[in-house]
Chain A
Amino acid sequence: MKTSLTTTRLRACAIVAGALVIPAGLFAAPAMAAEDATVSVLHAIPAGLGADVVDVYAGDALLIDNFTPGSLETLTVPAGSYDLGVYADGSTPADSDAVLSAMGVEVPAGANATVTANLDTTGAPALNVYVNDISEVMAGEARLTVRHIAAAPAVDVRADGNVIAAKLVNPNEAIVDVPAGPYTADVVLAGTDTVAIGPADLDLKEGTNTIVYAWGSAEAGTLALAVQTIDGLDGMPGGVPAGGGAASGSGTNPALIAAGLMTVAAAGVAGAAVRLNRSRA
């Protein structure tokens, strides 16, 4: 049921300075070379604040050219340590200082991260680095990640009217696994029914992590949602119970009977394992 929003996780994101280490995902995207990592970049600084067209560099190398507000780009890069910098369009690390930067971002093989250029809670430009949860979701479920990267006060995020993230503040995120399917999401001022963003229709597909960013500025009236989807996180079902026993005895494979009692016991163990998985943190 959609109301069984069980495991909401709230956590602060790690930001910019210092040697930020992004842990490698347990389940790397299959198409990716073993030594690569996936990095997405979201331009979430509203237009008119001097960052309407920027270039993003990793060290001296150009990562994204002519990046505009509201755009999201995903790249595979060799695993390594990167100095990320956002530059005014046409400026380069050789001739200019970065408008925003994050030094020594460690991106191990298999990791999946999103870098956001956004406004902090006071409205100043900021660069955040988030690690995306690409662990498997259970069969039939989808993961919803919500990130507050707007110049706005604390908010509650609701899906079909249920609060799934309460008192979320910039730059924190909330993660919840929910049954896959369509939802109507909105963002309200924390503890109120005053809608700040939305409502928006979200189709949370099974086996995906759908990441919703609340960005922009409340004061300037530019609050908006941006959506990133990571797929391929499908969990497997636990079994196929396709018989009720009415025909038991006829058509039974004799070769399987000998092993039958033992495997029935083994099936019980497997069932317990499935339930353990379900209650993971």
Chain B
Amino acid sequence: MKTKPRPAHIVMGISILLLVVSSVWSAVAGLGSSSNHNSALPENAGTSRTNPTGPVATPQSITTIPPAPITRIGEVVPDKQPVSGPAPVAVEIPAIDIVSKVIPVGVDADQQVVIPQDISQVGWYRFGATPGTGVGSSVIVGHRDGRGYGIGAFYDLGRLGIGDPILVTNESGVKVTYLVTGVESITKSKLPFRELFRETGEETLTLISCIGLYEPGVGYDANIIVSAAPGSSIINLPINSQKS
């Protein structure tokens, strides 16, 4: 096809043009090239050896136009995939003989975490971290007791000891094991919400119930907080049971 030789013609044409331009520059020796001229020049201008000391001395490639190196600014923030995973549906705490259904909960109009009405059930704070996703503090709340209902699912949290396993089953059927790392009572007005409900950082399971002094119409004055880290329950078997 007749169009095929064109690029070569163009290069040749440009080279001729270059010679002309170079001649012009020679005529105005001492004057720098304007940036407009520069950017219009093809890059293999350096092949024009008729004027090696001319202003178009920098060898460039025929396809690149920018006359000067371009600096970049800013670091692209990648699109974050929100951390999510299957919701927890059950929690087992063998040390206190608990097997409890887990339902997702949020907050009420007063910004209090909703505790399941059925005090045999516990609630997973669905606006926070999710167990098994490797990040953040997943919070499960449960009643200590309920007036007219009796003993709640988390009545005995205070009896847990360091290393006791807690097993959380999610809706995909996967069981995530945590080992208790801490049990403490904290006055309600001093709860470290940002730590308990954090969605970033180390994966932690946080169980919360009530404890302390009960005042009718107000409630308990403290929360009991059980912290647990991901782990294997095997290492937690009591030594004497391994021996027997």
Any chain A CB within 8 A of the CB of B240? Answer: no
- Of residues 165 through 193 on chain A, the ones whose CB sits less than 8 Å from some CB of chain B are 180
B213 in complex: contacting residue of A237, A247, A260, CB < 8 Å: A260
User: How many positions in chain A have a CB within 8 Å of any CB in the partner chain?
Assistant: 63
**A257 in contact with B71 (CB, 8 Å):** no
**B75 in contact with A140 (CB, 8 Å):** no
**A75 in contact with B77 (CB, 8 Å):** yes
**A256 in contact with B212 (CB, 8 Å):** yes
Any chain B CB within 8 A of the CB of A278? Answer: yes
**B106 in contact with A63 (CB, 8 Å):** no
The residue in chain A whose Cβ has the minimal distance to the Cβ of B155 is A247
**A267 in contact with B221 (CB, 8 Å):** yes
A244 in complex: contacting residue of B145, B189, B221, CB < 8 Å: B145
A241 in complex: contacting residue of B67, B112, B154, CB < 8 Å: B112
Q: A203 to nearest B CB, angstroms? A: 10
**B107 in contact with A247 (CB, 8 Å):** no
In the complex, chain A residues whose CB is within 8 Å of the CB of B222: 253, 256, 263
Any chain B CB within 8 A of the CB of A281? Answer: no
**A237 in contact with B111 (CB, 8 Å):** yes
User: How many positions in chain B have a CB within 8 Å of any CB in the partner chain?
Assistant: 68
**A237 in contact with B112 (CB, 8 Å):** yes
Q: A274 to nearest B CB, angstroms? A: 5
B147 in complex: contacting residue of A75, A245, A252, A264, CB < 8 Å: A245
Any chain A CB within 8 A of the CB of B18? Answer: no
Q: B228 to nearest A CB, angstroms? A: 17
**B193 in contact with A242 (CB, 8 Å):** no
Known A38-B77, A239-B113, A256-B222: A244·B148 in contact at CB below 8 Å: yes
As a 0/1 sequence over residues 45 to 65 of chain A, the CB contacts with chain B under 8 angstroms (1 = contact) are 000000000000011111110
**B74 in contact with A240 (CB, 8 Å):** no
**B214 in contact with A242 (CB, 8 Å):** no
Any chain A CB within 8 A of the CB of B65? Answer: yes
The residue in chain B whose Cβ has the minimal distance to the Cβ of A205 is B82
CB-defined A-B contacts under 8 Å, sample of 17: A62-B70, A62-B73, A75-B75, A138-B111, A234-B199, A238-B107, A240-B191, A240-B208, A240-B223, A252-B211, A256-B221, A259-B221, A263-B188, A267-B221, A270-B189, A274-B111, A275-B110
Residues of A within 8 A of B (CB): 30, 38-39, 58-64, 73-78, 90, 92, 94-95, 138-140, 180, 205-207, 231, 234-249, 251-253, 255-257, 259-261, 263-264, 266-267, 269-271, 274-275, 278
Residues of B within 8 A of A (CB): 35-36, 39, 65-68, 70-77, 80, 82, 106-107, 110-113, 115, 119, 125, 127, 141-152, 154-156, 158, 185, 187-189, 191, 193-194, 197, 199-200, 208-216, 218-223
